[in-house]
Every structure is written in C-alpha cells, then in structure tokens.
Structure 1
Amino acid sequence: MPVSSSFSEKPTLVGEKVLLRPVRPEEDLPMLRAVLDDPDVLRYTSDSYTPEPPVWDGARERRVVDWYTTRNEQTDRLDLIVVDRATGRGVGEIVLNEWDEPNRACNLRIALGPDGRDRGLGTEAVRLLTDHAIRAIGLNRVSLSVYAFNGRGQRAYEKAGFKVEGVRRQVLRYGDAWVDDIDMAVLAEDWG
C-alpha cells in the first residue's frame, strides 16, 4: 500500500454518528473555545494541573485564533473537527500528530466537549480516523496515551481497537496525587 507523503490532504470522513471534517476557523472557534475551557478536557488533556481554565485575554485569544487558522495548511499533522451528525454541530476535535514518517507512525489525540460525550461519538471518531491513518495514509502504528483517571477515555480507545502497551508511572501531579499515563496503540496488522 502506498504511503502518503504527508498529511496535506484534509479529508472529510463520514460515520454513522459523526462526521470528521477540516477546521473552519470562523465557524468552529466558539465551539473550540468552549471545549478548551471545559473542566473535563482540561483534566484529561493538560500536562499540568489546571484547577481553573486559563483567562481569555487578548494574547490567548490571538494564539488560539492563529493556531486554528493554520491547521489546514499543516503537512505533518491532520486536525479535524468532530461533528455530531444528529445535530450538525461541532463537539470537539481529533488530531493525528507527532508524525514519524520513516516508521509510518503517529500519535492520535481527541478532545470532546460536553455535547460530544457518553453517546459513542468519541469511539466512532477514533475508529474513523484510525482507519484513515492505516488504510488511506498507510501508517503501520497509531498510538496515544490516556491518564489513568480517565476510565471513559480508556474504554472508548479499547472499543476502537487500541491495546494497552504499558504504563508510565506518576507522570502527572494532579493536586495532591500522582497519576499514571497508560500507553495504547493499534497496528496495521491488527486492523480489521
């Protein structure tokens, strides 16, 4: 299977419950701001303890606008918006990043706001993008990590076909507790 030379193609992927599409900055920024401020998103995706969402000052607003306005230009990553097909509204983002071209591998991450949770949207989004990574791009390995206190996320990744490969102990200081990070991956040879 030929391997794509980059992530420059920004596809629209359609599932039963979700549609994954390229970022539309003007349309998506209000939803993305809400997702980035969501306490669960902060807890499950931050690499440091953040009890309160960061303040939306002018500098943060510019960074976020600049970031999302350039997502479709990137050739070394694929950022897509997760759209709930039942409502037609964006509920989060899903990303293939940390591309290791020689080893045909990348990382996957997802962040869903409250409107995208507990209905299988995340599981389907992860399956769709993983299938695209393996079948269309020709990757051999897609990996991710999930904090041990994110049981919902770990179950969704397992349902999507990811397997636990190991645990990195005490990687996050969360308040007064240490939290482990669970490494998971799916390989092309395992993908049905």
Structure 2
Amino acid sequence: MTWTGAAEAQSYGSTILEGDGVRFRALDDGDLPDLVRWWRDPEWAVLQQILVRPRPEAPIVEMFRSWSKSERSGEVGFSVVDRASGELVGHVTLFGAALPVRAATLAVMIGSEHVGRGYGTDAVRLLTEYGFREMGLNRIEIQVHAFNDRARAVYRKAGYVEEGVRREAVFHDGLFHDEVIMSALARDWPAGSSSGPRED
C-alpha cells in the first residue's frame, strides 16, 4: 500500500525494529562482554559453529563489530534486547545480499540464559520482516546443523521451510553431520505482519 502522508511513514518507522517481545538496536560496547561469553561457550558453540575452539576476546569483538556495521545495503546486524526491560538477549545479522538475486543469509544467536523464552522465534520473524520490507530482499535462508532440533523448530515456527540438505557438511565428535537449508520467500510473507508466512 502506498503511503498517503508522513503519519503512515512514521507509523511504519516506529515499529519496523520492534517485535512482540524483542527490539533491535545498534551494537553498544557494553554488549560485547556478553556476546563474547555466549560465543565462546563450547556447549552452545557446537550447535552453530563449524569448529569448537577457544579464541581470544579481541577477534570475537571485531567479528561482532563487523557484523553490526550495517554500512552496505545488503548487510545489517543488530543487538537484540528485551522490549520491556532493554536487557540484551542476543544478536542477529543478515548478510550476503546482492543484486540481482536479492537473497541473504540470516544468523541468530540468543544468549544461553535467555533460550527457551521465545526470543529466538520473535527475533527471526522480526529480522525476516525487516529484510523483506526494508531491504527489498526476495529470499532469506538459514543454514542449521541437522542435529540442532531446537533451532530447526524455532525456524519452522517463525515461518521457514526446510528445502534441502548439505550432506555430511559438518564435522563434530569424530563424525560428519548433515546441514539443513531453510528459507523464507517474500511472496509467502504477509506485508506488515510479524506473524510469519501466509497459510494459503
């Protein structure tokens, strides 16, 4: 729908970074200790990183700063905070989008003490909607280790569809594991709603 005045544009602007329970904001230096701690935790790293390894703080800090620059049109990164309290609960990013295909990859990290409280689903829905409505993306994909059943359930709940498998693409504990590709398309996503895809 075409806006007919400034009030409609401002209404959109006031909600594009807010979900039901989370809000996106720019990275603050104060976020970095928690983000580094969460990234380094081997119990959680095995669920989303290629290699579980202790790394110094400085490169991890620079990684999150790089992901959060949001300088190029096809890349954004946000700190995720609880909408009511403002407490940091995670980080999200979209990267790799370029013309002509307008497809990006989504990555999300929710802090270990905040898992299981709905933040992940809300953050994925909100970032997906942002990608379609503000960045003009056509496709957003997520790559998830096949054994990460909780993450796959979150992505399905948020509206993503499993579309393929990269066989034996991940190596942990002396074994090769599959990686699942999940995606959402703009045409399946309802405009102006963070509730996920249409059911028609």
Query: Which runs of at least 4 in structure 1 moved beyond 6 Å after TM superposition?
Result: none
Change over 3 Å in CA distance of 1:138–1:55 after alignment to 2? closer
Structure 2 residues without counterparts, runs of 5 or longer = 2-14, 191-200
Partner of 1:72: 69
Structure 1 residues without counterparts, runs of 5 or longer = 2-10
Map of 1:40-189 to 2, 5 A cutoff? 40-48=43-51, 50=52, 53-56=53-56, 61-70=57-66, 71-72=68-69, 74-75=71-72, 76-189=74-187
How far apart, CA to CA, are the structure 2 residues paired with 1:55 and 1:129?
Answer: 28
Deviation for aligned residue 1:84: 2.0
Give the fraction of aligned pairs with identical amino acids, expressed as a percent. Answer: 36
Whichever structure has more strand as a proportion of its residues is 1
Deviation for aligned residue 1:13: 0.9
Change over 3 Å in CA distance of 1:158–1:15 after alignment to 2? same
Change over 3 Å in CA distance of 1:127–1:54 after alignment to 2? same
TM-score (norm 1): 0.83
TM-score (norm 2): 0.80
Give the match's secondary structure for 1:169: strand
| Number of aligned positions between the proteins | 175
Of the structure 1 ranges 74-83 and 137-146, higher mean CA displacement relative to structure 2 is found in 74-83
Higher relative contact order (CA 8 A, sep 6+): 1
Change over 3 Å in CA distance of 1:174–1:69 after alignment to 2? closer
Change over 3 Å in CA distance of 1:73–1:140 after alignment to 2? closer
